[in-house]
Chains A and B, each alone.
Chain A
């Protein structure tokens, strides 16, 4: 196969134009390999939450940048993020998604053992390596290697696979306010993962899911069959003044809001590909108050601050490259790229520590009604992604359009708030994609030249 993009940063840069992107970003295997190596390794990628590994020896295994990774709680209380690969023969050290390994990891193949911070602990019959130069080998030196850098931000663990690169603070900047708001909604400022995630396999490119998070012109179209039908059924039911709107209706009906609702809600973008819908209001704004919750928040934070925290109704916040959070309902979705045309979506929910259980009940309901493989909302989203993944193979048209409310003067390196139906956040993501992929490719080319 001839390589079209490898070692050719200019060809990659040409795939992203200001208001359209080339279809190869979605369907090309070579581009996929390049973005794993250059985008996912050079940016800060979400791995997991510290509450998934509360005790020493707890671990959680996942994939980052299409590589096997594990997150482990060491005896010193720190969370380490390590490559899940025995330095000996390559065996994955753990394959269950969560568990407790005790004081050390032990490879099931030849019993090489490692501390929970990744350091090599022991090798059976080690005398066999005497005078072989083993200490100088990769296997003899590496243990379970740590990733390049780890940041635990208020319980959320992010990694940068590369040793060197942009700092966590610079990469996320003002966007961290969405994570802050989600955590601050607990009266004690603490979240805990509630149960396992929904796991939903999508035969489409991961960026289709990320694009969709701030696509405010699709709900009333793609989800008419679910949200529109819900509204019709509810309207047909006889009601009196005592009839309470069911929680499910509060969750699903706002998907049918008109274009004006989404235009007015606003979209904010931050540099490096982050952004959110729901600046002024959102589909989460009109949920019923949960008895006792406001009082707990006022007690914890004072009235002004409590009202400010609960007054935020950010809809979807995209943390580029591949997660979305919903602060008002404590949901986090990870779009794990597996191949150019395959993405695993994991949808987690969190308990607000010391807040009423009813909040978690609503969040669990949202997760299953909207994001489950059995969800009538999710079904229509996946249908659209898979149709697009197939449609993009037409040779006649090469570009995907992201031009809605585009302005030739727009500066994506500045924070901005705009009309809620703009595709600025999608353009922001592609701008960041190009910036990080091309910079990393150029750095690699320089390293090769220097060598």
Chain B
């Protein structure tokens, strides 16, 4: 089996952010493993995505739904569309264990989303958990912890 290098993990994180910023969402869907989740907890240091509310906990079906909706003709909250920009700190490698198949990065992110005259900034710590699938690096879990997860937000419409 081909193993990823540390640089592969780091490059992946930058690449993923760029794909989102450029609105290449169909391509973004291909970055995920088969049984994978995008998780944005609601509670600070939340340890369980199922027994309390999260902001997002999305499997392949729900991610596809989000992306298809963005492309829809009657997606009123996206007429006009939002745009976003990620600024990433260099990801650190939190786990690199080929034997256990465990590869985890941690990235500090500043995320800006805009639509019409409104623009807002969110700060998050993002953990990517990777897996190798047919010699390709895929996301198994992407956990996005917002610095102000307990604040009241308006619409957050794209992906951090």
Contacts and interface: CB of A to CB of B under 8 A. Distances in A.
Given A361-B51, A368-B53, A380-B76, A198 B42 contact: yes
B115 to A, nearest CB: 10
B77 to A, nearest CB: 4
Contacts of A293: none
A222 to B, nearest CB: 7
Nearest to B79: A383
Interface string A87-122: 000000000010000000000000000000000000
A225 B55 contact: no
A356 B64 CA distance: 30
Nearest to B52: A195
Among B59, B76, B156, max chain A CB count under 10 A is at: B76
B154 to A, nearest CB: 5
Contact of A368 (B46, B56, B64): B56
Interface in A166-213: 194-203
A325 B57 CA distance: 23
A284 interface: no
B57 A382 contact: no
Contacts of A43: none
Interface string B41-61: 011001000111111110101
Contacts of A199: 150-153
A418 interface: no
Contacts of B57: 365, 368
Given A199-B150, A246-B61, A364 B155 contact: no
Contacts of B72: 224-225, 228-229
B42 A196 contact: yes
B66 interface: yes
A6 to B, nearest CB: 30
B69 interface: yes
B124 interface: no
A382 B65 contact: no
Contacts of B3: none
A303 interface: no
Contacts of A232: 68
A384 B77 CA distance: 8
Interface string A371-386: 0111010111011100
A195 B53 contact: yes
B121 interface: no
Residue from A194, A202, A383 having most chain B Cβ neighbours under 10 A: A383
Interface in B19-49: 40, 42-43, 46
Contact of B155 (A225, A349, A379): A379
A372 B43 CA distance: 13
Given A196-B42, A344-B152, A382 B77 contact: yes
A48 to B, nearest CB: 16
Contact of B66 (A97, A222, A367, A376): A376
Chain A interface helix/strand/loop/mixed: helix
Interface string A59-79: 000000000000000000000
A11 interface: no
A360 interface: yes
Contacts of A373: 55, 152-156
B99 interface: no
A364 B76 contact: no
Contacts of B76: 222, 225, 380, 383-384
A226 interface: yes
A286 to B, nearest CB: 18
Contact of B51 (A97, A248, A357, A380): A357
Q: Shortest 10 CB-CB distances between A and B: which pairs?
A: A195-B52, A373-B153, A199-B152, A379-B77, A225-B75, A383-B77, A201-B152, A367-B53, A374-B55, A225-B72
Interface of B: 40, 42-43, 46, 50-57, 59, 61-62, 64-66, 68-69, 72, 74-78, 150-157
Given A232-B68, A248-B62, 13 more contacts: A97-B150, A196-B43, A196-B52, A198-B42, A200-B154, A201-B152, A225-B69, A233-B64, A248-B59, A349-B52, A368-B42, A374-B55, A380-B77
Interface of A: 97, 194-203, 222, 224-226, 228-230, 232-234, 246, 248-249, 252, 344, 347, 349, 351, 357, 360-361, 364-365, 367-369, 372-374, 376, 378-380, 382-384
30 contacts: A194-B53, A195-B42, A196-B42, A197-B53, A198-B42, A198-B55, A199-B150, A199-B152, A202-B154, A203-B154, A224-B74, A225-B74, A225-B77, A228-B74, A230-B65, A232-B68, A349-B52, A364-B54, A368-B53, A368-B55, A372-B56, A373-B152, A373-B155, A374-B56, A376-B65, A376-B69, A379-B77, A379-B155, A383-B155, A384-B76
